[in-house]
Structure 1
Amino acid sequence: MYQYTEFDRQFVKLRAEQFRDQLERWERGELTDEQLLPLRLQNGWYIQRYAPMARIAVPYGEISSTQLRMLARIAREYDQPDPVLLAQAQATQDALQASQPGATLPAPPLRYGYGHFTTRTNCQFNWIPLSKAAEVMELLASVSMHGIQTSGNDIRNINADAWEGVAQDSVVDCRPFAEITRQWSSLHPEFSYLPRKFKISYNGAVEDRAATGWYDIGLLGVKNAQGEVGFTVKVGGGMGRTPVIGTVVREFLPWNQVLNYIEAIIRVYNAYGRRDNKWKARIKILVKSEGQAFIDAVEKEFNAIVELDGAPHTITQAELDRVSAFFVVPPLKPANRPAQTDTSAPLYQRWLEHNVRGHKLPGMKTVTLSFKRPGFAPGDADADTMEALAHMAELFSAGEARLTHEQNVMLPWVFESDLPAVYEVAHALGLATPNINLLTDVIACPGGDFCSLANARTLHIADHVLLRYQDVNEVLDIGPIDLHMSGCINSCGHHHSGHIGILGVDKDGKEWYQVTLGGADGTTLSGPATGGKVVGPAFCAAEIPDVLEALLRTYRALRQPGELFIDALRRIGHDPFKAAANAARHPRVEAAAI
């Protein structure tokens, strides 16, 4: 994985020092809250429902054991709310819970002392006081981490498929290009104040595991007939109020022109993107409204960059070689740790089937650790778990782990001979549930439990799913299903791309939930990226478990042998599922939902 150079280290160190100075000036009253706002956002610090939220970048998902230990330390020492604040927040949550329509679902207490892994491979902390923010940024800088551009109207954390460089279906290892893009885009002076946030994702395999169709720019690594490396470029994907799938604007872009072409796209967006209405300011709106005219404008700008400006950001072979040298296969050594695991046991065999993938190297595997555990929000890792994860990475995976789009953690360098020992350690930590790509591998944002933008909570619903569907045989019989939950229309839980999506909405100050069906993020199991369709009026929280049961019951009754949920839905159509969902409505709250 990439190792920071002296320039990189100085860059994040000086940025942390600058942020400390800004915070101290704010504390002395020399900066107003309004003046501090863009400064803290550019460093990943939000003010959420009860406390600040820190968003830490993990570019393209790669994280070292040293960095995991630092995240564990921050969780243990800094993600600690003032007891009075915590009591007030819990009282507010309890009052909200009591005010909801119908018999609502039990809500777990507010938690602290943990990190939350997101769909965009960031790590978020929800309780760090702003007075401690500078200390945290300096600790992060000491292990080559930061929160730079994890918020604000700029180019955000660069994403990629978690299996880059190790996948059996790999075409191009996109990690060097993602890293070069990260360096180029960090504090890029022309793109620091875009009309809205801007997200870029790379995928270098046959299967699109990076959801590139849902990004502002999605780059798919390909090879042409001559074997030359390039990228298929998609532009204008996004979720939110207007879900849109990205448009292919270039079928094949030579690899060395990727930065020049990205610059052309963002220049056009910066010039013509709307700034009068933030809900219509994303590039997807510009692409959708202008169509071919947008593509023509990008090509014109790109030609000007190449012909008039001299293609200043052309990636040289020497630069690609320099960065690629960080992404070679690391020194590998099997742990040879003895294990008592019965490798013939059904649970172990199911874990092998669902949590272990093949590898480009003979004798190696990748292992996905499931961070979907009852009592924890999807993607949550407390300090002890992150410490243990760091130890697992050192013992079994050359000191490296990967955060995945699905809010899990993957070990990329596991010897096949070590799988029983890996399973044994993961099982002891509660991370060995054989549920990857299944119903309980649910994606969820923090929702109204923490986020000030959310219309409704999500974590109590996710926790109910994890508690209700603990029978492995039942979950396996249901088969692969993407269940995604968002607390508001901003779609941080990617509900639009869920086979079943749940969206929190507000009605007269009450929490309600829309259910969508038929979304897909673009993987082989899901098919092409598409947005789900709403099945009917909103449901209260207490109805969601019955609605989910009804949808699954309908699928199991109507499916053909071996047919997946998404395929059955596409074959049968939405009507039987919609009828089943609406029949699950509780009579006493039906009138309020309409």
Structure 2
Amino acid sequence: MYAYDELDRTLINERVSEFRDQVKRRLSGELTEDEFKILRLQNGVYLQLHAYMFRVAIPYGTLSTKQLRRLAHVARRYDRGYGHFTTRQNIQFNWIKLAELPDALADLAEVGIHAMQTSGNNMRNVTSDQWAGVAPGEIEDPRIWSELIRQHTTLHPEFSFLPRKFKIAITASEHDRAAIKIHDIGLRLHKNADGETGFEVLVGGGLGRTPFIAKTIKPFVHGRDVLSYIEAILRVYNQYGRRDNIYKARIKILVHELGIEKFAKEVEEEWKQMGDSELRLDHAAIEEVRSRFSYPAYEKLPHMPDELKQAAHDPLFERWRKNSVSPHKVQGYSIVTLSLKPVGGPPGDATAEQMDALADLADKYSFGEVRVGHEQNLALPHVAKRDLPALFKALDRLGLATPNVNLVTDIIACPGLDYCSLANARSIPIAQELTRRFANHDTAGLIGRLHINISGCINACGHHHVGHIGILGVEKNGEEFYQITIGGRADENAQMGTLIGPAVPYAEVADVIEDIVEAYLALRDRPEELFVDTVKRLGVEPFRERVYATR
């Protein structure tokens, strides 16, 4: 966990005071909605279909139990008793009254939580691997670098008035859980031949109307130079970025139009002109931030405790353990992923009661720490293996032990037309129906790892482009239709899915997904072949033939 210092606390509190005055002027009529819009967006407030939506930052996905309890308080006191965890490691509240927003923000500020730059044309919440600091084989904890970037970019003029929103993600593991290749800037921490720590820098990724996979512009930037190199990228973007056309204003369009070689050359020249700038991080600055991260006092524990051996006879526990429990870098400990995708439930939602109860469990079993992943699930990163049986029983009582992590019902979905004013179609009901269709765990286990992503519009908040199966809601003559893609992925081998055929009406979506899954089971050459690998081997045509044969 990172401990905020006095400067951080002062900044957050001053921001609350400033926003309270802005809301007061809006409610009095001194500010019009158009004048207020840019101010509220900078504080994470959207005007949605039914009410204002409040988006709160969870930097690099790490929460203390004190912070999680405060989120539960906000859900209970100011909203309708729940929050929605997003693909950006944020949490959204959909029903907060404008007049009460400053009070909610002040309550969050007391525990070091803010909503700065969670929306608007600025640098958004810096995200990272939800297993950061505990993943086996990790180069080092990427949250240290995420925090350095957060501190540098928050309210920085170069990063606050951009042509469009801007997103950075960082990973330090061989397997990319942070989806860095679909970000404006992706940073992969690694060591060079001299053993120095630095970053492969990727630029130009993004989804939405025009999706692109990020490309590498520099294989290695030393850690001390990461801030200056990011600033060089932003300077080039600010200089060339299309401010005249909202659809062409993202850096991915600039990279595409200039070409990756030309863009990389421009960045390199800009960076060299900056010289030995003040942005170069010396060892002391890096270590100061590193020192503010605290880590658990792990015990020396056996690899296979007696409690785990005894619990192995319980088939329900074993099903959950095999699905939800992952290796930890410290012997005797595990990482536990908590699915927020119950059968029939909205993906990513957690009630205030669940958040409070989970905070209690994290205090008891995970050194007071909870993580948020971009898959809209939570994780307890420091669970002793001996405690897994007791934790499972407690989670089961809370409805947080659904054993579907990475399976067909672990669906990523945006709020869609149920909440969002930008959406063309519903997302949540589609996800709910699919969880019912594939509720049988034996069937889901037979299917294996398969990610379904759903977006209610072309803005792609559900990351449908990179779903193994992607579902995009579109509007046709006032009716909801859905385009289906297959073969996408968001990991280190990221690629966009391929459209399988004509859009289908709302009532047929679940049937089409069932047809695709049945085709996969018939076409795979062995039970271990994953869905994405079958699509890669055979292409889209065999699936298209089976799905549309009777339509």
Interval of TM-score (by shorter of Structure 1 and Structure 2): over 0.9
Q: How does 1:322-401 map to 2 (within 5 A)?
A: 322-332=288-298, 342-401=311-370
Report the 3-state secondary structure (helix = DSSP H, G, I; strand = E; otherwise coil) of the residue aligned with 1:368. strand
Aligned to 1:13: 13
Q: How does 1:333-482 map to 2 (within 5 A)?
A: 342-482=311-451
CA shift, 1:584, in A, is: 5.6
Write the letter of the residue equivalent to 2:34: E
CA shift, 1:338, in A, is: 9.0
Aligned to 1:58: 58
Contact (CA 8 Å) 1:164, 1:174: kept in 2 or not? Answer: yes
Distance (whole Å) between structure 2 residues aligned to residue 217 and residue 48 of structure 1? 28
Aligned to 1:315: 281
Aligned to 2:149: 181
Contact (CA 8 Å) 2:149, 2:227: kept in 1 or not? Answer: yes
Residue among 518, 527, 549 paired with 2:514: 549
Distance (whole Å) between structure 2 residues aligned to residue 530 and residue 75 of structure 1? 36
CA shift, 1:427, in A, is: 1.3
CA shift, 1:580, in A, is: 2.1
The alignment of Structure 1 onto Structure 2 pairs a total of residues equal to 546
Distance (whole Å) between structure 1 residues aligned to residue 140 and residue 460 of structure 2? 30
Report the 3-state secondary structure (helix = DSSP H, G, I; strand = E; otherwise coil) of the residue aligned with 1:381. strand
Q: Which moved more, 1:160-169 or 1:373-382?
A: 373-382
Distance (whole Å) between structure 2 residues aligned to residue 369 and residue 146 of structure 1? 24
Contact (CA 8 Å) 1:339, 1:421: kept in 2 or not? Answer: no
Aligned to 2:235: 267
Contact (CA 8 Å) 2:53, 2:95: kept in 1 or not? Answer: yes
TM-score of the pair, normalised by structure 1: 0.90
Q: 1:333 to 1:13 in 2, by over 3 A?
A: farther
Aligned to 2:211: 243
Q: Which runs of 5+ in 1 are unaligned?
A: 80-111, 586-594
Distance (whole Å) between structure 1 residues aligned to residue 541 and residue 460 of structure 2? 25
Residue among 574, 580, 583 paired with 2:540: 574
Q: 1:584 to 1:58 in 2, by over 3 A?
A: farther
1:164 and 2:129 equivalent? no
Tell me the alpha carbon deviations over residues 440-484 of structure 1, each in whole angstroms, 9 at most, x when there is no partner: 111000000000000100100101111221111100000100110
Q: Which runs of 5+ in 2 are unaligned?
A: none
CA shift, 1:241, in A, is: 0.9
1:37 and 2:42 equivalent? no
Distance (whole Å) between structure 2 residues aligned to residue 169 and residue 501 of structure 1? 31
Of all paired residues, the percent bearing the same amino acid is 49
Write the letter of the residue equivalent to 2:406: N
Distance (whole Å) between structure 1 residues aligned to residue 368 and residue 478 of structure 2? 48
Write the letter of the residue equivalent to 1:391: D
Aligned to 2:192: 224
Tell me the alpha carbon deviations over residues 253-295 of structure 1, each in whole angstroms, 9 at most, x when there is no partner: 0000000000000010011010111111100000011111111
Distance (whole Å) between structure 2 residues aligned to residue 19 and residue 584 of structure 1? 57
Contact (CA 8 Å) 1:334, 1:417: kept in 2 or not? Answer: no
Q: 1:339 to 1:572 in 2, by over 3 A?
A: closer
1:255 and 2:220 equivalent? no
Contact (CA 8 Å) 2:46, 2:54: kept in 1 or not? Answer: yes
Distance (whole Å) between structure 2 residues aligned to residue 456 and residue 62 of structure 1? 32
Aligned to 1:296: 265
Aligned to 2:46: 46
Tell me the alpha carbon deviations over residues 314-371 of structure 1, each in whole angstroms, 9 at most, x when there is no partner: 1121111111113342234799999998432223222222211111111111000111
Contact (CA 8 Å) 1:447, 1:458: kept in 2 or not? Answer: yes
Aligned to 1:129: 97
Tell me the alpha carbon deviations over residues 26-71 of structure 1, each in whole angstroms, 9 at most, x when there is no partner: 1122111111000000000000011100000001000010111111
Distance (whole Å) between structure 1 residues aligned to residue 516 and residue 343 of structure 2? 22
Distance (whole Å) between structure 2 residues aligned to residue 169 and residue 456 of structure 1? 42
1:510 and 2:479 equivalent? yes
TM-score of the pair, normalised by structure 2: 0.97
Instruction: Note the aligned Cα RMSD (angstroms).
Output: 1.7
Q: 1:286 to 1:362 in 2, by over 3 A?
A: same
Q: How does 1:527-566 map to 2 (within 5 A)?
A: 528-561=493-526, 562-566=528-532
Residue among 128, 138, 142 paired with 2:110: 142
Distance (whole Å) between structure 1 residues aligned to residue 323 and residue 512 of structure 2? 26
Distance (whole Å) between structure 2 residues aligned to residue 449 and residue 515 of structure 1? 20
Tell me the alpha carbon deviations over residues 176-232 of structure 1, each in whole angstroms, 9 at most, x when there is no partner: 110010011100012211000000000011111110000000000001122110000
CA shift, 1:498, in A, is: 0.4
Distance (whole Å) between structure 1 residues aligned to residue 294 and residue 47 of structure 2? 40
Contact (CA 8 Å) 2:2, 2:294: kept in 1 or not? Answer: no
Distance (whole Å) between structure 1 residues aligned to residue 464 and residue 226 of structure 2? 30
